[in-house]
Amino acid sequence: MSKLEIKQASIAKQVFNTTDVEVLDQVKAVLESQSGDWWKNLPAKMRKDVEASLAQADEGNTVSHAEAMKQVRAWRKR
Convert the pLDDT of each residue in 11-51 to its tens digit: 999 999 999 999 999 998 888 777 667 788 788 999 999 99
pTM equals 0.44
- More confident: 1 or 13: 13
- The per-residue DSSP string of 11-78 comes to HHHHHHH---HHHHHHHHHHHHHTTS-HHHHS-HHHHHHHHHHHHHHHTT----HHHHHHHHHHHHH-
- Across 63-73, average pLDDT: 93
Report the Cα–Cα distance between both ends of the chain, in Å, rounded. 44
The whole-angstrom separation of Cα 13 and Cα 32 is 19
